[in-house]
Structure 1
């Protein structure tokens, strides 16, 4: 039976874990992580906060090698994040506009937000094609599926490149920015499919509903009717899964473009590898170059600066 074990480790232990699981690490875009690894039947997600989550039949045994489980208080906190939205009956078979975003937790690359409309007549076809939670798909599968989906259904994709993100970020915190982008993508898609109207609009929840509505009040073209908010929205309607796949594919394509332009592999996420690449970009073109490819307010920027200073003892790049 699968189980979940959570431990809290020191920075030294995290470094040892990072090295120990070097050959087991997998490329997954999980916000605020140092690494994600797969060893046997156990998945290990190590967060920058020092929290490490082990999932699988042998989770407890694997976790015990590194430390003790966190107090039960953490479990009570997680329960407060359970979905409270009640969806209409037979929701998965309705005509729904779904939206999702990718890239908000990655230091390099853009934030991509997609709204996708799936008419009830297309639900079965999309599922048959394999449209499901993007986390269950490989990157090549995501890119391939995205191109197919975009030929079959209406969608609106917004891409905020790092340079634009850095201009907006001082005025918009991360949540407000995502609210603005979701609202805009949904508004544009509703205009595009008019006079057709979805039976519901499902947003993959990233903030409490009240918080979303607070931020959206400051936006133009506010969409407020038929809105539903639920975490893991792709499990409730294929429209969110389609939006997630399109967003993820666009994010991957932008990372590939950045890699080619910089002449080095640009990683997703915000772990130690991002720090190393950021330091290399700083050495190549200073903060002006880094601002074109990374979200500067992340802690990675300061880490990269310190790393470069320690390595060459110069401030001229910073």
Structure 2
């Protein structure tokens, strides 16, 4: 089905998406792209689609195209480093909130950053929890502005959300590459057994206190990593 007509939106349309949510290592990145119809058609023609269907290299190349087509005022990226992520997650957990509250906070930050510079009134985001989490924050931030928020599963089938997914993934990949260079060892993506082994090697070389700077500590993987390190001592 045509990405451009799937939701039959009024243009311009702001799409948001995140990357890194399911990766044990690395940041959470949320991005947004505000497209008018010509920009949407241009990006669709360039091959912009859900980043999960693209190679890492293609994601990086297309992200540059998305930024160029959008221009500086029509896209935004919020990178929550692992250290900040862990602090925010712990704060929200103490308040009785869960990961969806953190995701909503990051999505709203992105939406606010774009809406402050554009007249975009239609927003499409992936469905990751109670949509009131985003809606209530937007009402508070823009009380006098008419906004139409759509949250649905597989939202990345829409080209604006797909563009946001490309931006978010490219930023995530850039952080992972820089961190791997900084620590002198590969930091793999995902949450597989290979990631667990890499995290164990990281702790063995850099210490357990440093883990919070590269990993999302609430994952069950943390217990496996630290248990293995303790048993080796």
TM-score of the aligned structures, taking structure 1 as reference length = 0.64
Counterparts of 1:279-290 in structure 2, within 5 Å, are 279-290=200-211
Aligned to 1:207: 129
Higher helix share: 2
Answering whether residue 106 of structure 2 is matched by residue 181 of structure 1, we say yes
Aligned to 2:159: 238
Counterparts of 1:117-156 in structure 2, within 5 Å, are 117-153=34-70, 154-156=74-76
**Contact 2:208–2:226 (8 Å) recurs in 1:** no
* Structure with the larger RCO, 1 or 2 (CA within 8 Å, 6+ apart): 2
**Contact 1:234–1:241 (8 Å) recurs in 2:** yes
Q: CA RMSD in A?
A: 2.2
CA drift at 1:273: 1.3
**Contact 1:183–1:222 (8 Å) recurs in 2:** no
User: Unpaired segments of 5 or more residues in structure 1?
Assistant: 1-86
SS of corresponding position for 2:141: coil
Deviations 1:49-86 (Å, cap 9, x if unpaired)?
xxxxxxxxxxxxxxxxxxxxxxxxxxxxxxxxxxxxxx
TM-score of the aligned structures, taking structure 2 as reference length = 0.87
Structure 1 stretches of 4+ moved >3 Å: 210-214
CA drift at 1:220: 5.8
Deviations 1:204-249 (Å, cap 9, x if unpaired)?
11113245446x38x96268821011111121x2110100000001
CA drift at 1:282: 1.3
Alpha-carbon distance change, 287 to 89 in structure 1, aligned in 2, over 3 angstroms: closer
Q: Distance in 1 between matches of 2:109 and 2:165?
A: 16
Counterparts of 1:293-312 in structure 2, within 5 Å, are 293-310=214-231, 312=232
SS of corresponding position for 1:192: coil
**Contact 1:184–1:221 (8 Å) recurs in 2:** no
Answering whether residue 113 of structure 2 is matched by residue 158 of structure 1, we say no
Aligned to 1:75: none
Aligned to 1:192: 117
**Contact 1:101–1:113 (8 Å) recurs in 2:** yes
Q: Distance in 2 between matches of 1:123 and 1:304?
A: 44
Aligned to 2:8: 90
Deviations 1:30-64 (Å, cap 9, x if unpaired)?
xxxxxxxxxxxxxxxxxxxxxxxxxxxxxxxxxxx
CA drift at 1:201: 0.7
**Contact 2:51–2:165 (8 Å) recurs in 1:** yes
Larger Rg computed on CA atoms:
1
CA drift at 1:136: 1.4
Deviations 1:75-117 (Å, cap 9, x if unpaired)?
xxxxxxxxxxxx99722x7320010001111110000000110
CA drift at 1:197: 2.8
**Contact 2:155–2:161 (8 Å) recurs in 1:** yes
User: Unpaired segments of 5 or more residues in structure 2?
Assistant: 93-97
**Contact 1:108–1:268 (8 Å) recurs in 2:** yes
